Structure 1
């Protein structure tokens, strides 16, 4: 039970962050945590595929109520109505196993379908 609660808390912790930024050549959130994109989101353009159990391991980078998209950054609406940051129309996610800023342990995960975002 504790394992399931931890990812849920991670999702809440990232719910009101500013626009993604570039740190050391990759996109991160405001805390410096690495952001990822998932190839499965390309199967239905404009629709977020990582929902339910997937989002426990790959928390979405949610936008705050006052966040405004600009340039290559946009906002996508999740099934629950919350807004998720996207880069070049690809939803952005964190990886629950990255424990500190600069960690990049999700790159290439699940058969190479998860990737760092290098603008």
Structure 2
């Protein structure tokens, strides 16, 4: 039974990597090692200046902190929402907070942006 479960998990992971559109349909990100990451394993952050489900990170800010973009027709449920950015594009938010990656995080698991300027924070699992 254990081998079958491991094989099934491997099959699901392969499908998620091969068909990212389907993987994103359920949830745009996941918890890994106590922090939230996108489907490439890159750390996700929140920005203290965002409020009311609105992103305040635009222009050069968004170049350094790329938003976790959502397709125009994205559906969200539970703590997940989709917000409209100032440029009209859609972005995922979790628990009311828009999500971002950080351009200086070069590989999965890096958290170089955590605590940056005291306004950027890694999204951690709430226990």
**1:24-43 alignment, distance < 5 Å:** 24-42=33-51
- Equivalent residue, structure 2, for 1:117: 123
1:11 maps to what in 2?
none
Whether 1:107 and 2:121 are equivalent positions in the alignment is: no
What TM-score, normalized to structure 1?
A: 0.79
Task: Give the number of equivalent residue pairs.
Answer: 101
| TM-score normalised according to structure 2 size | 0.74
| 1:82 alignment partner in structure 2 | 89
Q: Which has the higher contact order (CA 8 A, sep 6+)?
A: 1
> What SS does the corresponding residue of 2:39 show, helix, strand or coil?
coil
Matched, 1:47 2:54: yes
1:23 aligned onto 2:32? yes
Distance across 2 between alignment mates of 1:46 and 1:89: 5
1:118, CA displacement in angstroms?
1.1
Which of the pair has more CA radius of gyration? 2
Identify the structure with the greater helix proportion. 2
Separation (CA, whole Å) in 1 of partners of 2:33 and 2:73? 27
1:64 CA drift (Å): 2.3
Corresponding residue SS for 2:49: helix
Runs of 4+ with >4 A deviation:
none
**Is there any run of 5+ residues in structure 2 with no aligned partner, and where?**
1-20
